[in-house]
Structure 1
Amino acid sequence: MRLTIVFLLAAYVLSQFYRVFLAVLTPVLGQALGMTPEQLALALGLWFAAFAAMQIPVGNALDRHGPRRTTALLLGLGGAGGAAAFALAQGPGGVYLAMALLGFGCSPVLMAGYYVVAHAFRPQMFSILAAALLGGGSLGNILGAAPMAAAVEAWGWRAAMWGLMAVTVVIAVGLWIFARDPERAPVPAGPKGKGRLVDVLRNPAFLLILPIAFTGQAASSGIRGAWAGLWADQVHGADSLTIGHITLAMSLAMVVGTFAYGPADRVLGSHKRVVLWGNICLCIALACLVAAPAMSVLWGAVALSAVGAFGSSYPVILAHGRGYFAPHMIGRGMTVLNLMSIGGVAAAQFGSAPLFRAVSAGGDPVFAYRMLFLFFLLPVVVSLVFYLFSADKPAAES
């Protein structure tokens, strides 16, 4: 399984890269293709929408066909095809198509890694290993910041995308040749073995986790993917290199936060306490941005980094929900949570674009970004109210 983990980790690095690299291309695509901030946000939203739409089919494919074929085929077709479409784009429509294809291609990667972890390791290790996979893959967040900006400066954005297409093909072929599927859990006889999706959704305690899954990543992923660069550009007139440094800082914070969340639930003995306090801190960081959206570039980078770090609770949320899945339903159960998480990011992106356009009509970018950050803050507050009533399942049990 060693090569399987290596190639799945490499694929997840690509997946993380493809969801954030638009931020450093903000000035370039504006000049080359005439794309507006709202169009860039829409393009990122299409990535998340395509990703989310594939989660239920991916869950079925993981349980029935295993992670090797599922990931290699989707990444090869969608990931490589999307990178090529991006390199060939002549306008916003081409970028929309490319981002949707990239979301389609990246859709099975993380869940395939979690599927392997869930079947090959003890349940008590799930949150730690899930966080390690998520944190290691977050190298893509880093590569999508300053390194991507440097590559675009050196070779141009189209050449950079052709290079990414080649890398994607290599990883997809490597998965097909070298990866191995873990031993599958036995399927119970009778009605319990049918594995219907409704069986995952019958537990009221599990349903109370869904709101925080929906909002938990929306702020960190949405702001990092599209709005951090635009904030620096429109409020402070930052250039591509400065935007690269700000997004790099936020990306590093997301990596640190992910690794910190993993063992935190083992220390506190509760998934719920970790998720609850982490997201309260996320709300405080967003509230600072709401209160002072015109803060200096330095303090803005600090606040955005705090959003990235505290908005990385997803592995613990997934571990919390993992305790409610039967072994033969792990693929479908985890993809329900992933659907909620990615769907929340997509909804935030689709909602943030028209909101920003409306509040920008007065020509005051400070007010516009205050409303934008408030838009990301309020859903987290509401989801925490629901999460307060969820069952506090001990970390050792899940």
Structure 2
Amino acid sequence: MNEAVTPKDAIALPDRLNAKSATLVFLAFAAAYFCSTLLRAITATLAPVLTQEFSLQAQGLGLLAGGYFLGFAAVQLPLGHWLDRHGPKRVILWFLSLAVLGCLAFSAAGSFTGLLMARVLLGMGVGACLMAALTGYRRWFDTPALLRANSWMLMTGSLGMLASTLPVQWLMPLIGWRALFWCLAALVVLSMAAIAWLVPRWRVAPAASPSTPALSHEAGYAAIWRSRYFRKMAPLAFFNYGGMVAIQTLWAGPWMVRVAGDTPLESATGLFWINASMLVTFWSWGLVNPYLARNGWPATRLIAWGVPLSLAVLAGNILAGSATGWPGWALFCVTSSVMGLAQPAVGMSFRAALAGRALSAFNLVIFAGVFVAQWGLGLLVDAFSALGLAQGASFQAAMTVFLCCSIAAYGYFISVNADNSVQ
């Protein structure tokens, strides 16, 4: 399990965990990420209630859902520094305390402004959930375990999104959406207790010797932005991956209601099956990805083959219009899941001392894309409606703009020759 120490990595010597400790650490981080994705996706299920109670149009709903990602993206660059310096445990506990406040603020909001501010605070509060875990895994897990843990964290995220659909739909008539956020605050507190108890403290890197540069103290993000491989992956992360998350966590729901003619319960059921499909998909990636990597199918090659399939499915969904229900959007999300392999690939392309900054910078690109897609699709739907298009045609036109951006991002990806060898 132990790695040989090279001068390049001497400043960030990995502290490999045994199987039992690694499992407990994974479960603690997974509990927090479950809460994070439940809060991320819950807007899609609450959309009919919030639209009616606060008289929201498509752009307002998109901005409300995107507020989470705005807060999330805003903390990613300082987060990377803090993770490399203070370690995952200390950082995530501070951040999750903001998430608890965000849940309570959302439950008490009496206006759209209050809801939006609470969503931004929620996004900031859960902004460390995945990055803290992946930074710890980069040091504590070997490569096969790291690849598997990344996919299974995304599987846990799908479980959280699953919980945001039918379970939320069933609970709302019983306790109301405001009391629901008190329950979510309690779940976040429980995940904080698990992390405080189970996650090891971060070992501070030793001072550099004359023959070993102080890699852990490299300032800023210059090495990240200079990476040709990072720049190769960034447009796909912004448009293709960010857009997929925007559809999964918001726009699949309104499409099913406003284009396909489903009821709110049918839409919530559809979202349930979309997220169930993603849960099975990421579980499967966790099983097969280490095998594929050993046999000549690294992340970059899988992405090159997988993204065109997702673009073809998206085009088919747009053309089908009102005939596209949850199976079409589930297939789009499943075929887009190959982009989930990009995150560990980017993290492993940098030294362990830069892992927190590399992962957070890449996450910033993804969630900036989610925010732009969630709000932008709402703006486009309203704009096309104002031009006289019917509601269904407005959604189709907005999705067509997204498809064109995704095709351009893929074109850039295949035009750049770069691999993920360690920087």
TM-score norm. by structure 2 comes to 0.87
Q: Which amino acid aligns with 1:131?
A: S
Q: Which amino acid aligns with 2:277?
A: A
Give yes or no for the alignment of 1:6 onto 2:27. yes
Q: Which amino acid aligns with 2:217?
A: K
- Compared CA separation, residues 138 and 325, structure 1 to 2 (3 A): same
Give yes or no for the alignment of 1:375 onto 2:396. no
SS, match of residue 269 in structure 1: coil
Asked if structure 2 preserves the Cα contact closer than 8 Å seen for 1:279 and 1:380, the reply is: no
Cross-structure match for 1:144: 164
CA distance in structure 2 between the aligned counterparts of 1:70 and 1:314, rounded to whole angstroms:
26
Give yes or no for the alignment of 1:288 onto 2:316. yes
CA distance in structure 2 between the aligned counterparts of 1:133 and 1:181, rounded to whole angstroms:
21
What are the Cα deviations for residues 143-189 of structure 1, in whole angstroms up to 9, with x where unaligned? 01111111112221111111111221222233234432354666754
CA distance in structure 2 between the aligned counterparts of 1:376 and 1:280, rounded to whole angstroms:
14
Aligned length: 393
- Compared CA separation, residues 103 and 70, structure 1 to 2 (3 A): same
Cross-structure match for 1:160: 180
Asked if structure 1 preserves the Cα contact closer than 8 Å seen for 2:248 and 2:274, the reply is: yes
SS, match of residue 331 in structure 2: helix
Q: Which amino acid aligns with 1:273?
A: R
Q: Which amino acid aligns with 1:230?
A: P
Within 5 Å, give how 1:82-231 maps onto structure 2: 82-183=102-203, 189-190=212-213, 192-196=215-219, 197-231=221-255
Cross-structure match for 2:70: 49
CA distance in structure 2 between the aligned counterparts of 1:168 and 1:274, rounded to whole angstroms:
35
Give yes or no for the alignment of 1:244 onto 2:268. yes
Within 5 Å, give how 1:19-34 maps onto structure 2: 19-34=40-55
Asked if structure 1 preserves the Cα contact closer than 8 Å seen for 2:65 and 2:250, the reply is: yes
Q: Which amino acid aligns with 1:194?
A: H
CA distance in structure 2 between the aligned counterparts of 1:342 and 1:348, rounded to whole angstroms:
9
CA distance in structure 2 between the aligned counterparts of 1:187 and 1:49, rounded to whole angstroms:
37
Q: Which amino acid aligns with 2:306?
A: G
CA distance in structure 1 between the aligned counterparts of 2:173 and 2:206, rounded to whole angstroms:
53
Cross-structure match for 2:95: 74
Give yes or no for the alignment of 1:324 onto 2:349. yes
Cross-structure match for 1:311: 336
- Compared CA separation, residues 199 and 177, structure 1 to 2 (3 A): same
Mean CA deviation greater in 85-94 or 386-395? 386-395
CA distance in structure 2 between the aligned counterparts of 1:187 and 1:124, rounded to whole angstroms:
30
Q: Which amino acid aligns with 2:405?
A: P
Identity %: 26
- Deviation for aligned residue 1:236: 3.5
- Compared CA separation, residues 186 and 294, structure 1 to 2 (3 A): farther
SS, match of residue 90 in structure 1: coil
- Deviation for aligned residue 1:249: 1.4
- Deviation for aligned residue 1:32: 2.1
- Compared CA separation, residues 366 and 178, structure 1 to 2 (3 A): same
Q: Which amino acid aligns with 1:161?
A: F
- Compared CA separation, residues 163 and 31, structure 1 to 2 (3 A): same
Cross-structure match for 1:342: 367
Structure of larger gyration radius: 2
CA distance in structure 2 between the aligned counterparts of 1:167 and 1:323, rounded to whole angstroms:
32
Give yes or no for the alignment of 1:273 onto 2:301. yes
- Deviation for aligned residue 1:227: 1.2
CA distance in structure 1 between the aligned counterparts of 2:230 and 2:318, rounded to whole angstroms:
32
Gaps of at least 5 residues in structure 2 are 1-20
Q: Which amino acid aligns with 1:374?
A: T
SS, match of residue 218 in structure 2: coil
Asked if structure 1 preserves the Cα contact closer than 8 Å seen for 2:96 and 2:192, the reply is: yes
CA distance in structure 2 between the aligned counterparts of 1:172 and 1:100, rounded to whole angstroms:
20
Asked if structure 2 preserves the Cα contact closer than 8 Å seen for 1:120 and 1:182, the reply is: no
CA distance in structure 2 between the aligned counterparts of 1:89 and 1:284, rounded to whole angstroms:
41
- Compared CA separation, residues 234 and 315, structure 1 to 2 (3 A): closer
- Compared CA separation, residues 127 and 380, structure 1 to 2 (3 A): farther
SS, match of residue 321 in structure 2: coil
CA distance in structure 2 between the aligned counterparts of 1:74 and 1:303, rounded to whole angstroms:
36
CA distance in structure 2 between the aligned counterparts of 1:218 and 1:182, rounded to whole angstroms:
31
CA distance in structure 2 between the aligned counterparts of 1:171 and 1:211, rounded to whole angstroms:
33
Gaps of at least 5 residues in structure 1 are none
- Deviation for aligned residue 1:191: 6.2
- Deviation for aligned residue 1:82: 1.1
SS, match of residue 226 in structure 2: coil
TM-score norm. by structure 1 comes to 0.92
- Deviation for aligned residue 1:261: 3.6
Give yes or no for the alignment of 1:65 onto 2:86. yes
Give yes or no for the alignment of 1:256 onto 2:291. no
- Deviation for aligned residue 1:110: 0.3
Asked if structure 2 preserves the Cα contact closer than 8 Å seen for 1:279 and 1:310, the reply is: yes
Mean CA deviation greater in 381-390 or 50-59? 381-390
Give yes or no for the alignment of 1:301 onto 2:326. yes
SS, match of residue 369 in structure 1: helix
